[in-house]
């Protein structure tokens, strides 16, 4: 029997590449190895599950077994890959060895944990999986107040979701406004004002120093020396691509696992995509880039080598109290923002020296124009 395509990881990247392989080749042998239970769910739904009235278990679309049967995949769930014998083309896992012909790493990312102090740190949650979310939802039972550390995309989405159920939500961020790296100044202030009008408190220019237990709650001390007693704390300070296994295997790693535009790592039989991968210096931990990468990689793995192309990919921020769409300029792009800020909405455009639009932000009523704006953007790759 031919050595299979082995995909490590059953998140969006792993499952999407399998789905795309099956569209192209019903017969090729595919094995999926994953450390988790392989419950299939849409991770973006975690940050608006409260507003949609969904308990964590209801977010699961398929059990691993159902999904594997539908996709004719040999599934090894609850199986962690510990190392890879590259010359022997063999995975070493905590459940034994698995041979591969081609190997796909779809390992995701890990939450960053800054060096905060205090005896409450084990109750500071990060959410990057359904399992994490179940734990955090447990913290919200009976809670009235929540601190969110980090006002980026995921932090703002959770903050708005919790606000929608009547929780008091305070967001702490060292930047001057929410979605700091994605928004220029005036636009960021506009978004911040709308979040505050909706009832969230945004502690701008304020980091977190320590978190202590106090009664059933947590006392958070911020970088201004002020302290806040809350019932639950969510950390959303960012994710780091999962690169440890790739490093251990001797693959080239920068911020993520380095791949070329065929999603090929420094080993020609090993590929990577999703939150763990870095394609020509781009680490894009979002759904759309993963879907593009899955289609290109599936074609390559089924005998039609295909170069990855990224169009501009706007991200819809799931904050119903402040609808926002961001399409950042390509990393390293030179230019300036032109911000058009009105009461009902914002159109901010990043222009290069020839006044060519390279990125944009829409917020408020203008978000409905996102398709028109996206069509004007140059490809990212």
Ligand X SMILES: Cc1cc2nc3c(=O)[nH]c(=O)nc-3n(C[C@H](O)[C@H](O)[C@H](O)COP(=O)(O)OP(=O)(O)OC[C@H]3O[C@@H](n4cnc5c(N)ncnc54)[C@H](O)[C@@H]3O)c2cc1C
Residues that bind ligand X (CB under 6 A): 8-14, 33-36, 43-44, 46-47, 80-81, 106-109, 127-128, 154, 242, 245, 274-275, 285-288, 290, 315, 318
Give the three-class secondary structure for 249: helix
Neighbouring C-alpha atoms within 13 Å toward the C-beta of 3: 14
Instruction: State residue 263 phi and psi, 5-degree precision.
Output: 65, 25
- Give the Cα separation of 171 and 249 in Å (integer): 39
- Residues in the chain, how many? 381
DSSP state letter for 242: -
Of 199, 19, 167, which is closest to residue 104 (Cα–Cα)? 19
- Give the Cα separation of 301 and 53 in Å (integer): 40
- Residue closer to ligand X, measured from CB, 9 or 175: 9
Instruction: State residue 289 phi and psi, 5-degree precision.
Output: -60, -35
- Residue closer to ligand X, measured from CB, 81 or 182: 81
Residue burial 36-66, b: 16+ Cβ < 10 Å; e: rest: bebbbbebebbbbbbeeeeebeebeebebee
Q: How far is the CB of 60 from ligand X (least distance, A)?
A: 14
Longest dimension (CA), the chain: 65
Q: How far is the CB of 6 from ligand X (least distance, A)?
A: 11
Q: How far is the CB of 50 from ligand X (least distance, A)?
A: 12
- Residue closer to ligand X, measured from CB, 40 or 299: 40
- Residue closer to ligand X, measured from CB, 106 or 211: 106
- Residue closer to ligand X, measured from CB, 262 or 292: 292
- Residue closer to ligand X, measured from CB, 120 or 274: 274
- Give the Cα separation of 5 and 296 in Å (integer): 15
- Residue closer to ligand X, measured from CB, 75 or 208: 75
Q: How far is the CB of 214 from ligand X (least distance, A)?
A: 27
Q: How far is the CB of 157 from ligand X (least distance, A)?
A: 6
Q: How far is the CB of 244 from ligand X (least distance, A)?
A: 8
Q: How far is the CB of 144 from ligand X (least distance, A)?
A: 22
Return the C-alpha torsion angle 252, 257, 262, 267, nearest 10: 40
């Amino acid at each position: 029997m031919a050595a299979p395509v082995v995909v490590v990881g059953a998140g969006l990247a792993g499952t999407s590449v399998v789905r795309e392989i099956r569209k192209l080749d019903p017969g090729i042998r595919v094995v999926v190895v994953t450390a988790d239970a392989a419950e299939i769910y849409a991770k973006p739904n975690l940050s608006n599950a409260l507003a949609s009235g969904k308990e964590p278990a209801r977010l699961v679309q398929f059990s691993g077994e159902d999904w594997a049967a539908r996709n004719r995949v040999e599934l090894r769930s609850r199986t962690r890959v510990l190392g890879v014998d590259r010359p022997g083309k063999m995975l070493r896992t905590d459940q034994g060895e698995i041979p591969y012909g081609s190997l796909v790493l779809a390992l995701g990312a890990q939450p960053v944990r800054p060096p905060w102090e205090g005896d409450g740190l084990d109750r500071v949650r990060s959410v990057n999986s359904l399992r994490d979310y179940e734990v955090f939802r447990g913290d919200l039972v009976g809670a009235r107040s929540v601190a969110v550390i980090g006002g980026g995309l995921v932090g703002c989405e959770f903050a708005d979701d919790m606000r929608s159920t009547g929780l008091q939500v305070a967001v702490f961020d060292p930047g001057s406004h929410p979605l700091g790296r994605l928004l220029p100044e005036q636009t960021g202030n506009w978004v911040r004002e709308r979040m505050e009008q909706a009832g969230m408190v945004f502690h701008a220019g304020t980091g977190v120093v320590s978190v202590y237990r106090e009664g059933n709650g947590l006392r958070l001390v911020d970088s201004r020396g002020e302290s806040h007693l809350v019932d639950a704390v969510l950390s959303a300070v960012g994710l780091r691509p999962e690169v440890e296994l790739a490093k251990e295997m001797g693959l080239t790693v920068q911020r993520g696992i380095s791949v070329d535009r065929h999603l090929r790592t420094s080993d020609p039989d090993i590929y990577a995509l999703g939150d763990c991968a870095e394609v020509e210096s781009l680490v894009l931990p979002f759904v759309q880039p993963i879907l593009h990468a899955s289609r290109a990689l599936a074609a390559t793995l089924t005998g039609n080598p295909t170069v990855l192309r990224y169009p501009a990919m706007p991200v819809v921020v799931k904050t119903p109290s402040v609808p926002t769409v961001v399409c950042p300029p390509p990393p390293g792009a030179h230019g300036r923002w032109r911000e058009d800020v009105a009461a009902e909405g914002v159109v901010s455009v990043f222009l290069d020296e020839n006044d060519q639009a390279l990125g944009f932000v829409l917020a408020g009523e203008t978000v409905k124009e996102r398709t028109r704006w996206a069509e004007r953007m140059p490809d990212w790759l």
